[in-house]
């Protein structure tokens, strides 16, 4: 048996302490690394939630968003859906007394009747009209990518990260103006949620879920494909110019879950026979128009409001060629218009 000297014992103690110290140091380093990783993840998640923006998949200069999905192949696909040659007009009349979002107005005036003339030996007379209103945001309205943004730390951020301070002017938007959108000729799909639920009209505040959309599509024997325009029939449009107060009080519409499901299918546009498309009141009472922000700001997916979908639903026309070209108001946030569905 060997006896350890005092010196050897001291050396072992020193080595044990050294080894323990190294282990403690490594443990501290790993702990700090874990903390930094968690912090970085949390900061990243917080930034994502706070900014509510995403870079465009079509590049940092993109101003067209999901309209880029309307490819020549998609246009040709849409033309194959025209079998009967029947046209459905989906726009409503622009008229005095129509439901309006609070603070907006609309008026049309014929300045003089006739406005001009007679002129020439043939006595020609003519009428002009003078229109006043938030012309891209009243009646049947197409929301462009410059319509909605999100305020973050005092800066208003819009689609593709564009800052309002760098493009917004009282004379029009220098980026994301509706003139950049181009025309839509694509496959249109009507999802008749009211019909699926067996009611004429969904009550105000009804949240349309992803399951509702999926089940209604299954009933209609349809699936969504990239670049589709998806129109949702709720029956709320029955109130238009019949009970404007109830029409404006709120609306049935898609919730966030359904919006994300539609975004995952890479649609180019959503629309409905309601004034917001999304459900109002919102699922979270502290949020204002969160689906607008999700689809328009983060995804570049367009929005079409106050559509007349009753005839499509009554005729059970669920798949069709959809056509619409926004009026080229340079720098405008949206466009009026009369989109059409052709069967």
Q: What is the rounded distance in angstroms from the CA atom of residue 225 to the CA atom of residue 254?
A: 19
Q: What is the rounded distance in angstroms from the CA atom of residue 131 to the CA atom of residue 108?
A: 5
Task: Please tell me the predicted confidence (pLDDT) of residue 309.
Answer: 98
Instruction: Tell the residue number behind the tokens 């006595």, with chain if given.
Output: 123
Per-residue pLDDT of the chain (343 residues), as tens digits, is: 344 444 444 444 344 444 444 444 444 443 434 333 333 333 333 333 344 578 999 999 999 999 999 999 999 999 999 999 999 999 999 999 999 999 999 999 999 999 999 999 999 999 999 999 999 999 999 999 999 999 999 999 999 999 999 999 999 999 999 999 999 999 999 999 999 999 999 999 999 999 999 999 999 999 999 999 999 999 999 999 999 999 999 999 999 999 999 999 999 999 999 999 999 999 999 999 999 999 999 999 999 999 999 999 999 999 999 999 999 999 999 999 999 999 9
Q: What is the rounded distance in angstroms from the CA atom of residue 111 to the CA atom of residue 268?
A: 40
Buried b (16+ CB within 10 A) or exposed e, 61-82: ebbbbbbbbbeeebbebbeebe
| Distance separating the N- and C-terminal Cα atoms of the chain | 101
CA distances from 300 to 122, 171, 263, 295, 326 (A): 53, 23, 10, 6, 16
Of the candidates 223, 217, 201, 184, the residue with the CA atom closest to the CA atom of residue 310:
201
Report whether 281 contacts 250 (CB < 8 A): yes
Instruction: Tell the residue number behind the tokens 């080595």, with chain if given.
Output: 15
Enter the DSSP assignment of 303.
Answer: E
Q: Provide DSSP, 216-267.
A: HHHHTT----TT-EEEEE-SGGGGTTT-HHHHHH-B-EE-HHHHHHHHHTT-
Task: Please tell me the predicted confidence (pLDDT) of residue 52.
Answer: 57
């Amino acid at each position: 048996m060997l006896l350890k000297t005092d010196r050897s014992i001291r050396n072992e103690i020193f080595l044990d302490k050294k080894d323990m110290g190294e282990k403690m140091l490594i443990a501290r380093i790993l702990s700090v690394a874990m903390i930094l990783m968690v912090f970085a993840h949390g900061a990243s998640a917080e930034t994502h939630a706070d900014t509510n923006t995403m870079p465009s998949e079509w590049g940092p200069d993109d101003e067209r968003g999901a309209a880029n999905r309307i490819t020549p192949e998609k246009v040709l696909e849409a033309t194959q859906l025209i079998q009967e040659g029947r046209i459905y007009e989906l726009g409503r009349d622009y008229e005095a007394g129509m439901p309006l979002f609070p603070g907006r107005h609309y008026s049309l005036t014929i300045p003089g009747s006739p406005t001009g003339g007679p002129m020439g030996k043939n006595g020609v007379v003519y009428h002009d009209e003078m229109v006043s209103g938030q012309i891209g945001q009243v009646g049947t309205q197409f929301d462009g990518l410059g319509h909605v943004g999100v305020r973050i730390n005092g800066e208003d951020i819009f689609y593709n990260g564009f800052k309002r301070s760098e493009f917004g002017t009282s004379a029009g938007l220098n980026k994301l103006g509706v003139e950049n959108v181009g025309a839509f000729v694509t496959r249109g799909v009507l999802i008749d949620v009211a019909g699926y639920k067996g009611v004429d009209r969904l009550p105000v505040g009804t949240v349309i879920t992803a399951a509702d959309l999926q089940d209604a599509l299954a009933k209609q024997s349809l699936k969504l494909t990239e670049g589709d325009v998806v129109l949702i029939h709720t029956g709320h449009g029955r109130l238009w110019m019949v009970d404007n107060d109830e029409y404006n009080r709120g609306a049935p519409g898609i919730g966030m879950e359904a919006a994300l499901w539609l975004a995952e299918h890479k649609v180019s546009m959503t629309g409905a026979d309601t004034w917001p498309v999304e459900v109002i009141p919102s699922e979270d009472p502290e949020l204002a128009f969160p689906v607008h922000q999700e689809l328009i700001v983060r995804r570049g997916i367009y929005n079409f409001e106050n559509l007349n979908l009753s005839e499509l639903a009554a005729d059970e026309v669920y798949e069709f060629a959809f056509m619409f070209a926004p009026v080229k108001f340079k720098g405008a946030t949206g466009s009026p218009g009369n989109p059409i569905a052709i069967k």
